[in-house]
Amino acid sequence: MILYSFFTVPAYMATAFVIILVSLKRDSYVPFVAITGALISLGFSLLAIPQVLPGTPVSMQMEEWVAPYGITIFGDCLSITLACLISIVALMTMIFSSSYIRERRAKYYALLSLLFAGMFGVVHTGDVFNLFVFLELLSIASYGLIAFPRNRSALEASIKYLIMGSLGTSLLLMGVAFLYGLTGSLNMADIAVRLSGMSSPAVAVSFGLILTGLGIKAGLVPFHTLHLDGYTAAPTPVSAVLAALVANIGLYAILRVSFILFSMPFVALQILLWFGVISMVLGAVLALRQSNLKRMLAYSGVSQVGFIAVSVGLGTSLGLVGGLFHMVNQALIEGLLFFCAGAVVYFAKTADLDKLSGALKSDRLLSFSFLIGVLALAGIPLFNGFASKWIIYMAALEVNPALALLAVVVSAITLAYGLKAYSVIFSGNPLGKAVDVRLPLSMKIPLVLLAALIIIIGVLPWIGIGVANLMAGGLDSASYIQEVHI
Amino acid sequence: MLVYVLAMAVIVAGLYAMVMKDNLIKKLLGMGIMTNGIHVFLIAIGYRAGGIVPIMQDLDFQRFSLAAVDPLPQALVLTSIVINLSIMAVGLSICILIYRRFGTLDSSRIRRLRG
């Protein structure tokens, strides 16, 4: 069977290639090529929805090689939902960047396309080595994009991200090598079959290596600082992609590998839970103290990833559903907030909250979308963040009421720093001459669309809950093995 | 067994350089050394003492499968070498830009200069 959404990977790679070719002729066509590529791959992702909708996974083999020997491409509700999410955010980023990025556009868009190709690859692969390869593709593109402004802070953040990031992927490769030595296979389903019933310390070693390697990518607490610098220094549309998607992709890979290969041991759940708790609290508390808008949003991203990890780490099926639902919501909200921050930075030329006070003449669309983002992030009813956070509170209440209370407190802190930023930027006393904000169409479209999605999911939460239930089904090891291993 | 110990020693040496050294070039070299250690480890997994090159010349599958070394880790290592090369290229070109902006490659001084 042909899985349509996998064609997003070659589509984005071809887009990167065509962008370079087109830029030799005329630089101003580049954004249109990129947007076309993004639209095509959005189409491919949407085409795959009916294929997996009954809840049945679909797998595809490269070139008729049978399962454990050939390269397996795998899609189920979890990966297709994430593919659609990536497609939407990718399209919005391409549109937003067309007015934000004014110089060296070809390089920027080509790197961005490769970044998305890597993400789609990670989501679709059924093979641990290809997971490593696609993760590296994603990482290398992100190192280049963070360094893109070529100023001091961007270069410093980029080299730091490069060294720590390649340490993470090296650990992942080491874990893969251990797995291959143990089982003689790289196919996830095949490894899962061969690992079951095997109890060797080497299994634990390889799991630890893979978990650490992917944890660096997900940016949970001990590894969050390099992400923060990257998010702050990168061009703002890139920060949106990094905060909304890259951390989630890392978490997705952790969940996929630990549920399918290692059938999610209790220790790993506890690790996720406690590192999640620390990320959730520390991210929110430190976000309160930031005076840089982008850095504040980056801390809020760490805090939200913590929420997801806590929810999954509870180990109940309700917690899993809440975590996956929050993954989708968090990506939309962080995307919206970073795009708003991008518009603010674009007009005010600074992300410093002290200098931003009243620096912009109020633009209703911009302030409304920022407010929607803040309220959704804090989990106020009628916005999508409420639905997923409510499930997380309920799931936490079943296991440990103190955790539920902690999550509510963190949400309150989130509201506090969000509203602080909102009031400073949009209703602060002007320090100097206020800049007139005239949002170009390419900035309006992403803001309106993401805000609309946030409100639609918020008003009709059962759609999202249904999708999250189907997504959680994708982490069932038995049906995965049955689909791939014939 | 010796080759595994050797591979681990190389990995640890690379890791040491990556984490402890201040100079960015040394950090990148450490990264290269660590990845090479992993490559040695991978090759050692697929090695068979006295094995033949995994190219099928005559179609005697039985004899071939008993004598050949495992070719898959070698393919993995080739892929990984290419990836490592591109990371190294990106890292070194960022280092060139850093040297132009900061006038130093010492990571602790860079942190102070960033301001």
pLDDT one-digit tens code per residue, A21-69: 999 988 889 999 999 999 999 999 999 999 888 878 888 888 777 778 8
Separation between Cα atoms, residue A319 and residue A383, nearest integer Å: 20
CA distances A88 to A9, A97, A241, Å, are 15, 14, 11
A290-294, A295-299, B54-58, B104-108: least confident range: B54-58
Residues 6+ apart with CB under 8 A from A59: A1, A3, A67, A72, A73, A74, A75, A126, A483, A484
Check whether B15 has a pLDDT greater than 90: yes
Task: Fill in the amino acid letter for A106.
Answer: A
Smallest Cβ–Cβ distance between B101 and the set A129, A133, A152 belongs to A152
Q: Pick the residue from chain B with its C-alpha nearest to A132.
A: B80
Q: Is the pLDDT of residue B73 over 80?
A: yes
Nearest Cβ partner for B87 among A132, A140, A174: A140
Q: What is the mean pLDDT of residues A379-387?
A: 92
Q: Which of residues 56-95 of A touch B (CB under 8 A)?
A: none
CA distances from A197 to A194, A210, A255, A414, B11 (A): 8, 20, 21, 45, 30
* pLDDT > 70: percent of chain A: 100
Shortest CB distance from B73 goes to which of A150, A163, A180?
A: A180
Find the closest chain B residue to A145 by CA distance.
B90
Chain B positions with Cβ closer than 8 Å to A: 11, 15, 18, 24, 27-28, 31, 34-35, 38, 41-42, 45, 72-73, 76, 79-80, 83, 86-87, 90-91, 94-95, 97-98, 101-102, 107, 110-111, 113-115
Residue B115, pLDDT above cutoff 60 = no
Both tokens of A269, joined, read: 């759940």
Q: What is the mean pLDDT of chain A?
A: 91
Q: Which two tokens stand for residue A395?
A: 């799931």
Q: What integer is the mean pLDDT of B21-35?
A: 95
Chain B residues whose CB is inside 8 A of the A181 CB are 45
Statement: residue A221 has pLDDT above 80: no
Question: pLDDT at position A35, please?
Answer: 96
Using CB atoms, pick whichever of B94, B97, B113 lies closest to residue A162.
Answer: B94
pLDDT of residue A482: 85
What is the nearest CA distance from A406 to chain B, expressed in angstroms? 35
- The Cα–Cα gap between A371 and A381 comes to 14
Distance CA B19, CA A167 (A): 10
Q: Torsion-angle region of residue A265: left (phi > 0), alpha (psi -120 to 50) or beta?
A: beta
Under the banding of pLDDT at 50, 70 and 90, the label for residue B51 is confident
| Greater pLDDT, A63 or A151 | A151
C-alpha to C-alpha distance for B106 and B115, rounded to whole angstroms: 15
Question: What is the rounded average pLDDT of the residues B93-100?
Answer: 95
Query: Who among B24, B45, B102 is closest to A180 (CB)?
Result: B45
User: Measured between alpha carbons, how far is B66 from B51 in angstroms, rounded to an integer?
Assistant: 9
Contacts of A334 (CB under 8 A, 6+ apart): A240, A243, A244, A297, A300, A301, A304, A377
Chain A residue with minimal CA distance to B80? A133
Structure tokens at A447: 């803001």
Distance from CA of A181 to the nearest CA of B (A): 6
Looking up tokens 């997705």 gives A252
- Report chain A residues whose CB lies below 8 A from the CB of B17: none
Looking at residue B113, its pLDDT comes to 78
**pLDDT of res. A226:** 80
Report how far Cα A170 is from the mean position of its chain's Cα atoms. 21
Average pLDDT over residues A234-253: 93
Q: How many Å from the N-terminal Cα to the C-terminal Cα in chain A?
A: 14
Report, as an integer, the average pLDDT of A232-254: 93
Q: Name the strand (E) or helix (H) holding A59.
A: strand A58-61
| Residues A87-120 pLDDT 10s | 999 999 999 999 999 889 999 999 999 999 999 9
Nearest-Cα residue of chain B relative to residue A175:
B38
pLDDT band of A268, cuts 50, 70, 90: confident
Mean pLDDT, rounded, for A320-347: 94
B24 → closest Cβ in A143, A159, A174:
A159
pLDDT of residue A262: 86
Q: What is the pLDDT of residue A486?
A: 59
Strand locations in A211-326 (E): none
Residue to test with chain B: of A167, A176, A191, A206, most B Cβ within 10 A: A167
pLDDT of residue A83: 95
Res. A418: pLDDT tops 70: yes
pLDDT tens across A192-207, in order? 988 887 878 889 999 9
- Of chain A, the percentage scoring pLDDT greater than 90 comes to 68
Contacts of B49 (CB under 8 A, 6+ apart): none
Q: Give the residue-averaged pLDDT of B17-42.
A: 94
As a whole number, mean pLDDT of residues B49-64 equals: 79
Which range is least confidently modeled, A91-95, A214-218, A425-429?
A425-429
- A225 to each of A165, A219, A232, A257, A360, how far by Cα in Å? 12, 8, 11, 25, 30
Q: Is A315 exposed, middle or buried (0-12, 13-18, 19+ CB in 10 A)?
A: middle
Cβ separation A153–B114 shorter than 8 A:
yes
User: Within 10 A of A101 (CB to CB), how many other CB atoms are there?
Assistant: 20
Mutation for B interface: A65, A148, A156, most B CBs within 10 A: A156
Distance from CA of A178 to the nearest CA of B (A): 8
